[in-house]
Amino acid sequence: MSLSGDVCVVTGAGGFLGKRLVRLLLEEEAAAEVRLLDKRVQPQLVRDLEECGGGTKLSVWEGDIQDWDFVRAACRGASVVFHIASVIDVLESLDYSEVYGVNVKGTQLLLEACIQQSVAAFIYTSTIEVLGPNPRGDPVVNGGEDTPYDSVLKFTYSRTKKDAEQRSLRAHGAALAGGGRLATCALRPMYIYGEGCRFLLGHMRDAIRNGNVLRRTSRPEARVNPVYVGNVAAAHLQAARSLRDPRRRSAVGGRFYFISDDTPPVSYSDFNYAVMAPLGFGIQQRLPAPLRLLYVLCFLLEMACAALRPLVRVVPPLNRQLLTMLNTAFSFSYQAAARDMGYRPRYSWEEARMRTVEWLASELPKERERIRGG
Protein backbone atom coordinates (compact mmCIF):
# COMPACT_ATOMS: atom_id res chain seq x y z
CA MET A 1 0.00 0.00 0.00
CA SER A 2 1.41 3.41 -0.95
CA LEU A 3 1.09 6.70 0.91
CA SER A 4 -0.71 8.29 -2.02
CA GLY A 5 -2.74 11.28 -0.83
CA ASP A 6 -1.29 11.19 2.69
CA VAL A 7 0.11 14.14 4.62
CA CYS A 8 3.42 13.05 6.16
CA VAL A 9 5.27 14.77 9.00
CA VAL A 10 9.01 14.07 9.37
CA THR A 11 10.61 15.29 12.60
CA GLY A 12 14.35 15.85 12.44
CA ALA A 13 13.88 16.42 8.72
CA GLY A 14 17.04 18.48 8.43
CA GLY A 15 19.22 15.73 9.89
CA PHE A 16 21.23 12.84 8.50
CA LEU A 17 18.42 10.28 8.24
CA GLY A 18 15.57 12.78 8.00
CA LYS A 19 16.85 14.31 4.76
CA ARG A 20 17.20 10.88 3.18
CA LEU A 21 13.67 9.86 4.16
CA VAL A 22 12.12 13.09 2.88
CA ARG A 23 13.85 12.64 -0.47
CA LEU A 24 12.55 9.07 -0.68
CA LEU A 25 9.01 10.19 0.11
CA LEU A 26 9.17 12.82 -2.61
CA GLU A 27 10.66 10.50 -5.21
CA GLU A 28 8.49 7.43 -4.64
CA GLU A 29 5.21 8.38 -2.97
CA ALA A 30 2.41 10.51 -4.38
CA ALA A 31 1.82 12.04 -0.95
CA ALA A 32 -0.31 15.17 -0.82
CA GLU A 33 2.20 16.93 1.44
CA VAL A 34 5.46 16.30 3.26
CA ARG A 35 6.13 18.52 6.29
CA LEU A 36 9.75 19.09 7.29
CA LEU A 37 9.72 19.60 11.05
CA ASP A 38 12.96 20.68 12.74
CA LYS A 39 14.42 23.48 14.83
CA ARG A 40 16.17 24.75 11.72
CA VAL A 41 15.88 23.68 8.08
CA GLN A 42 18.53 24.97 5.69
CA PRO A 43 17.04 26.86 2.70
CA GLN A 44 19.43 25.04 0.34
CA LEU A 45 18.02 21.69 1.50
CA VAL A 46 14.50 22.85 0.68
CA ARG A 47 15.56 24.01 -2.77
CA ASP A 48 17.28 20.69 -3.45
CA LEU A 49 14.25 18.71 -2.30
CA GLU A 50 11.80 20.78 -4.32
CA GLU A 51 13.52 19.61 -7.49
CA CYS A 52 12.45 16.00 -6.85
CA GLY A 53 9.05 16.68 -5.32
CA GLY A 54 6.81 16.22 -8.33
CA GLY A 55 3.29 17.22 -7.36
CA THR A 56 3.85 16.78 -3.62
CA LYS A 57 3.60 19.92 -1.50
CA LEU A 58 6.72 20.50 0.59
CA SER A 59 6.32 22.67 3.69
CA VAL A 60 8.79 23.74 6.38
CA TRP A 61 7.86 23.79 10.06
CA GLU A 62 10.60 25.29 12.20
CA GLY A 63 10.11 25.07 15.95
CA ASP A 64 10.71 23.22 19.19
CA ILE A 65 9.37 19.70 19.55
CA GLN A 66 8.74 20.51 23.22
CA ASP A 67 6.31 23.28 22.25
CA TRP A 68 2.79 21.83 22.46
CA ASP A 69 1.12 24.44 20.26
CA PHE A 70 3.78 23.99 17.56
CA VAL A 71 3.57 20.19 17.62
CA ARG A 72 -0.21 20.16 17.58
CA ALA A 73 -0.36 22.54 14.62
CA ALA A 74 2.25 20.51 12.72
CA CYS A 75 0.16 17.34 13.12
CA ARG A 76 -3.16 18.92 12.14
CA GLY A 77 -4.49 17.17 9.05
CA ALA A 78 -1.57 14.73 8.92
CA SER A 79 -1.99 10.99 8.43
CA VAL A 80 1.57 9.70 9.10
CA VAL A 81 4.25 10.91 11.50
CA PHE A 82 7.87 9.75 11.19
CA HIS A 83 9.51 10.69 14.48
CA ILE A 84 13.26 10.79 13.85
CA ALA A 85 14.34 13.82 15.89
CA SER A 86 16.39 13.13 19.01
CA VAL A 87 19.42 14.28 20.97
CA ILE A 88 22.34 11.84 20.55
CA ASP A 89 24.86 12.07 23.37
CA VAL A 90 27.18 9.11 24.02
CA LEU A 91 29.79 11.20 25.87
CA GLU A 92 27.31 12.37 28.54
CA SER A 93 28.19 15.96 27.66
CA LEU A 94 24.67 17.37 28.07
CA ASP A 95 22.43 17.84 31.10
CA TYR A 96 19.89 15.09 31.65
CA SER A 97 17.01 17.56 31.41
CA GLU A 98 18.04 18.61 27.90
CA VAL A 99 18.23 15.05 26.59
CA TYR A 100 15.04 13.98 28.39
CA GLY A 101 13.19 17.06 27.17
CA VAL A 102 13.69 16.27 23.50
CA ASN A 103 13.84 12.46 23.54
CA VAL A 104 11.00 11.73 25.99
CA LYS A 105 8.89 14.85 26.48
CA GLY A 106 8.99 15.65 22.77
CA THR A 107 7.89 12.11 21.89
CA GLN A 108 5.06 12.20 24.41
CA LEU A 109 3.78 15.51 23.07
CA LEU A 110 3.88 14.15 19.52
CA LEU A 111 1.88 11.09 20.52
CA GLU A 112 -0.71 13.25 22.28
CA ALA A 113 -0.90 15.50 19.22
CA CYS A 114 -1.40 12.47 16.97
CA ILE A 115 -4.33 11.31 19.11
CA GLN A 116 -5.91 14.76 19.26
CA GLN A 117 -5.40 15.43 15.53
CA SER A 118 -6.42 11.88 14.47
CA VAL A 119 -3.11 10.91 12.86
CA ALA A 120 -3.40 7.30 11.71
CA ALA A 121 0.23 6.08 11.87
CA PHE A 122 3.30 6.87 13.98
CA ILE A 123 6.76 5.42 13.25
CA TYR A 124 9.33 5.94 15.99
CA THR A 125 13.05 5.90 15.14
CA SER A 126 14.65 4.07 18.04
CA THR A 127 18.21 2.71 18.21
CA ILE A 128 20.07 -0.52 18.88
CA GLU A 129 21.34 1.17 22.05
CA VAL A 130 17.97 0.78 23.80
CA LEU A 131 19.03 -2.86 24.22
CA GLY A 132 22.69 -2.47 25.02
CA PRO A 133 25.35 -3.64 25.20
CA ASN A 134 25.10 -3.89 28.98
CA PRO A 135 28.01 -2.85 31.24
CA ARG A 136 29.25 -6.47 31.36
CA GLY A 137 29.68 -6.46 27.61
CA ASP A 138 27.55 -9.56 27.07
CA PRO A 139 27.71 -10.26 23.32
CA VAL A 140 24.92 -10.93 20.83
CA VAL A 141 25.65 -12.43 17.41
CA ASN A 142 22.94 -12.25 14.72
CA GLY A 143 20.25 -11.68 17.34
CA GLY A 144 16.55 -11.10 16.80
CA GLU A 145 13.59 -9.40 18.44
CA ASP A 146 13.10 -12.40 20.75
CA THR A 147 16.76 -12.79 21.78
CA PRO A 148 16.94 -12.68 25.61
CA TYR A 149 19.30 -10.05 26.94
CA ASP A 150 19.93 -8.47 30.33
CA SER A 151 19.54 -4.87 29.24
CA VAL A 152 21.09 -2.57 31.85
CA LEU A 153 21.40 0.90 30.35
CA LYS A 154 23.93 3.45 31.57
CA PHE A 155 23.81 6.19 28.93
CA THR A 156 21.26 8.96 29.41
CA TYR A 157 20.76 8.71 25.65
CA SER A 158 19.98 4.99 25.80
CA ARG A 159 17.61 5.33 28.75
CA THR A 160 15.66 8.21 27.26
CA LYS A 161 15.37 6.49 23.88
CA LYS A 162 14.12 3.33 25.62
CA ASP A 163 11.53 5.36 27.54
CA ALA A 164 10.35 7.06 24.34
CA GLU A 165 10.21 3.75 22.46
CA GLN A 166 8.05 2.18 25.17
CA ARG A 167 5.69 5.15 25.17
CA SER A 168 5.38 4.91 21.39
CA LEU A 169 4.55 1.21 21.43
CA ARG A 170 2.08 1.55 24.32
CA ALA A 171 0.22 4.17 22.30
CA HIS A 172 -0.63 1.60 19.63
CA GLY A 173 -4.39 1.17 19.49
CA ALA A 174 -5.16 4.46 21.27
CA ALA A 175 -8.53 5.91 20.31
CA LEU A 176 -8.24 8.92 18.01
CA ALA A 177 -10.31 12.02 18.63
CA GLY A 178 -11.91 11.79 15.21
CA GLY A 179 -12.52 8.05 15.38
CA GLY A 180 -10.34 5.09 14.57
CA ARG A 181 -7.18 3.87 16.30
CA LEU A 182 -3.57 5.00 16.25
CA ALA A 183 -1.10 2.51 14.76
CA THR A 184 2.51 2.68 15.95
CA CYS A 185 5.77 0.78 15.59
CA ALA A 186 9.43 1.38 16.41
CA LEU A 187 12.53 0.75 14.31
CA ARG A 188 15.89 -0.03 15.92
CA PRO A 189 18.62 0.65 13.37
CA MET A 190 22.18 -0.46 13.92
CA TYR A 191 24.89 2.24 13.73
CA ILE A 192 23.88 4.24 10.63
CA TYR A 193 26.52 5.26 8.09
CA GLY A 194 26.53 6.88 4.67
CA GLU A 195 26.66 10.30 3.04
CA GLY A 196 26.31 12.98 5.70
CA CYS A 197 27.34 10.86 8.71
CA ARG A 198 28.97 13.28 11.15
CA PHE A 199 30.62 10.47 13.11
CA LEU A 200 32.53 9.31 10.02
CA LEU A 201 33.66 12.88 9.41
CA GLY A 202 34.85 13.09 13.00
CA HIS A 203 36.89 9.89 12.66
CA MET A 204 38.39 11.14 9.40
CA ARG A 205 39.29 14.45 11.01
CA ASP A 206 41.03 12.68 13.89
CA ALA A 207 42.91 10.48 11.44
CA ILE A 208 44.16 13.50 9.48
CA ARG A 209 45.53 14.97 12.71
CA ASN A 210 47.11 11.58 13.46
CA GLY A 211 49.12 11.48 10.24
CA ASN A 212 46.34 9.84 8.17
CA VAL A 213 46.13 6.89 10.56
CA LEU A 214 42.79 5.94 12.11
CA ARG A 215 42.89 5.45 15.85
CA ARG A 216 41.79 2.00 16.98
CA THR A 217 39.17 2.05 19.74
CA SER A 218 37.66 -1.41 19.23
CA ARG A 219 39.07 -4.94 19.03
CA PRO A 220 38.69 -6.71 15.66
CA GLU A 221 36.62 -9.49 17.25
CA ALA A 222 34.00 -7.01 18.57
CA ARG A 223 31.89 -7.31 15.42
CA VAL A 224 28.79 -5.23 14.81
CA ASN A 225 26.71 -4.78 11.65
CA PRO A 226 26.37 -1.11 10.64
CA VAL A 227 23.49 -0.20 8.32
CA TYR A 228 23.46 2.16 5.34
CA VAL A 229 21.30 5.27 5.68
CA GLY A 230 19.48 4.61 2.40
CA ASN A 231 18.34 1.22 3.70
CA VAL A 232 17.16 2.73 6.99
CA ALA A 233 15.10 5.31 5.09
CA ALA A 234 13.59 2.53 2.99
CA ALA A 235 12.68 0.62 6.17
CA HIS A 236 10.82 3.67 7.48
CA LEU A 237 8.85 3.95 4.27
CA GLN A 238 8.01 0.25 4.39
CA ALA A 239 6.90 0.56 8.03
CA ALA A 240 4.53 3.41 7.15
CA ARG A 241 3.07 1.46 4.24
CA SER A 242 2.53 -1.52 6.54
CA LEU A 243 0.76 0.50 9.23
CA ARG A 244 -1.50 2.02 6.57
CA ASP A 245 -2.28 -1.41 5.12
CA PRO A 246 -5.14 -3.18 6.96
CA ARG A 247 -3.63 -6.54 5.99
CA ARG A 248 -0.30 -5.85 7.71
CA ARG A 249 -1.22 -3.41 10.45
CA SER A 250 -2.06 -6.09 13.01
CA ALA A 251 1.30 -7.84 12.46
CA VAL A 252 3.45 -4.71 12.62
CA GLY A 253 1.52 -2.45 15.00
CA GLY A 254 2.82 -2.19 18.57
CA ARG A 255 6.12 -3.93 17.74
CA PHE A 256 9.77 -2.97 17.38
CA TYR A 257 12.07 -4.17 14.61
CA PHE A 258 15.84 -4.33 14.23
CA ILE A 259 16.95 -2.69 10.99
CA SER A 260 20.20 -3.89 9.45
CA ASP A 261 21.33 -4.83 5.95
CA ASP A 262 24.02 -6.91 4.30
CA THR A 263 26.98 -4.82 5.47
CA PRO A 264 29.53 -7.43 6.67
CA PRO A 265 29.90 -7.72 10.49
CA VAL A 266 33.07 -5.92 11.51
CA SER A 267 34.32 -3.89 14.48
CA TYR A 268 33.59 -0.17 14.58
CA SER A 269 37.27 0.67 14.01
CA ASP A 270 37.63 -1.77 11.13
CA PHE A 271 34.46 -0.42 9.55
CA ASN A 272 35.97 3.07 9.57
CA TYR A 273 39.01 1.62 7.86
CA ALA A 274 36.88 -0.19 5.26
CA VAL A 275 35.40 3.10 4.03
CA MET A 276 38.54 5.23 4.41
CA ALA A 277 41.29 2.91 3.19
CA PRO A 278 40.51 3.83 -0.47
CA LEU A 279 41.34 7.43 0.49
CA GLY A 280 44.81 6.51 1.70
CA PHE A 281 44.16 6.14 5.42
CA GLY A 282 45.79 3.47 7.55
CA ILE A 283 44.73 2.13 10.94
CA GLN A 284 46.44 1.26 14.19
CA GLN A 285 46.86 -2.49 14.47
CA ARG A 286 46.13 -2.71 18.20
CA LEU A 287 44.35 -0.79 20.94
CA PRO A 288 46.62 1.89 22.47
CA ALA A 289 46.63 -0.10 25.74
CA PRO A 290 45.18 -3.35 27.10
CA LEU A 291 41.41 -3.14 27.42
CA ARG A 292 41.44 -3.59 31.21
CA LEU A 293 43.87 -0.71 31.58
CA LEU A 294 41.69 1.47 29.33
CA TYR A 295 38.71 0.78 31.62
CA VAL A 296 40.78 1.86 34.64
CA LEU A 297 41.89 5.03 32.87
CA CYS A 298 38.29 5.83 31.88
CA PHE A 299 37.18 5.32 35.48
CA LEU A 300 39.84 7.71 36.76
CA LEU A 301 38.90 10.29 34.14
CA GLU A 302 35.22 10.02 35.02
CA MET A 303 35.98 10.48 38.74
CA ALA A 304 38.17 13.51 38.05
CA CYS A 305 35.50 15.12 35.86
CA ALA A 306 32.84 14.43 38.50
CA ALA A 307 34.98 16.13 41.15
CA LEU A 308 35.36 19.19 38.94
CA ARG A 309 31.69 19.39 37.98
CA PRO A 310 30.62 21.81 40.73
CA LEU A 311 33.12 24.29 39.24
CA VAL A 312 33.29 23.42 35.55
CA ARG A 313 31.81 20.77 33.26
CA VAL A 314 34.59 18.71 31.71
CA VAL A 315 33.66 15.83 29.40
CA PRO A 316 36.16 12.96 29.04
CA PRO A 317 36.80 11.92 25.42
CA LEU A 318 36.00 8.31 26.32
CA ASN A 319 33.98 6.72 29.13
CA ARG A 320 33.57 3.15 30.35
CA GLN A 321 30.17 2.60 28.77
CA LEU A 322 31.30 3.87 25.38
CA LEU A 323 34.41 1.71 25.62
CA THR A 324 32.16 -1.28 26.35
CA MET A 325 29.96 -0.48 23.37
CA LEU A 326 32.96 -0.21 21.07
CA ASN A 327 34.39 -3.54 22.24
CA THR A 328 31.32 -5.81 22.42
CA ALA A 329 30.17 -8.09 19.61
CA PHE A 330 26.58 -6.92 18.99
CA SER A 331 24.87 -7.78 15.70
CA PHE A 332 21.23 -8.32 14.72
CA SER A 333 19.22 -9.73 11.83
CA TYR A 334 16.57 -7.89 9.80
CA GLN A 335 14.56 -11.07 9.11
CA ALA A 336 11.56 -10.06 11.25
CA ALA A 337 11.26 -6.76 9.37
CA ALA A 338 11.51 -8.69 6.11
CA ARG A 339 8.78 -11.11 7.19
CA ASP A 340 6.29 -8.64 8.65
CA MET A 341 6.92 -5.45 6.65
CA GLY A 342 8.42 -6.75 3.45
CA TYR A 343 11.62 -4.80 4.13
CA ARG A 344 14.59 -5.62 1.92
CA PRO A 345 17.84 -3.64 1.72
CA ARG A 346 17.79 -1.52 -1.43
CA TYR A 347 21.54 -0.99 -1.48
CA SER A 348 24.11 -3.74 -1.42
CA TRP A 349 27.22 -3.42 0.72
CA GLU A 350 29.28 -2.72 -2.41
CA GLU A 351 27.03 0.15 -3.50
CA ALA A 352 26.67 1.57 0.02
CA ARG A 353 30.44 1.50 0.49
CA MET A 354 31.05 3.12 -2.88
CA ARG A 355 28.61 5.95 -2.17
CA THR A 356 30.10 6.51 1.28
CA VAL A 357 33.67 6.53 -0.02
CA GLU A 358 32.77 9.01 -2.78
CA TRP A 359 31.16 11.34 -0.26
CA LEU A 360 34.13 11.13 2.11
CA ALA A 361 36.44 11.83 -0.84
CA SER A 362 34.47 15.00 -1.61
CA GLU A 363 34.76 16.13 2.02
CA LEU A 364 38.44 15.27 2.47
CA PRO A 365 39.95 18.45 0.91
CA LYS A 366 37.63 20.63 3.00
CA GLU A 367 38.57 18.78 6.19
CA ARG A 368 42.29 19.08 5.44
CA GLU A 369 41.89 22.79 4.80
CA ARG A 370 39.96 23.31 8.05
CA ILE A 371 42.69 21.54 10.02
CA ARG A 372 45.44 23.52 8.33
CA GLY A 373 43.53 26.72 9.11
CA GLY A 374 43.42 25.85 12.79
Sequential DSSP letters for 166-234? HHHHHTTTPBPTTSSB-EEEEEEE-SEESTT-HHHHHHHHHHHHTTSEEPP-S-TT--B--EEHHHHHH
Cα separation, 222 vs 225, in Å, equals 10
Among the listed residues 199, 202, 249, 208, the one whose alpha carbon sits nearest the alpha carbon of residue 226: 199
Residue 296 carries which side chain, given as an amino acid letter? V
What three-state secondary structure class fits 13?
coil
For 229-249, letters b (16+ CB in 10 Å) and e give bbbbbbbbbbbbbbbbbeebb
Residue 88 carries which side chain, given as an amino acid letter? I
Catalytic residue among 157, 257, 334, 347: 157
Cα separation, 264 vs 224, in Å, equals 8
Gyration radius (Cα) of the chain, Å: 21
Sequential DSSP letters for 217-264? -S-TT--B--EEHHHHHHHHHHHHHHHH-HHHHHHHTT-EEEE--SPP
Count of positions (residues) in the chain:
374
Residue 315 carries which side chain, given as an amino acid letter? V
With the C-alpha atoms ordered 133, 136, 142, 146, is the resulting torsion angle positive or negative?
A: negative
Per the annotation, the verdict on 157 as an active-site residue is: yes
Which residues are known catalytic residues?
A: 157
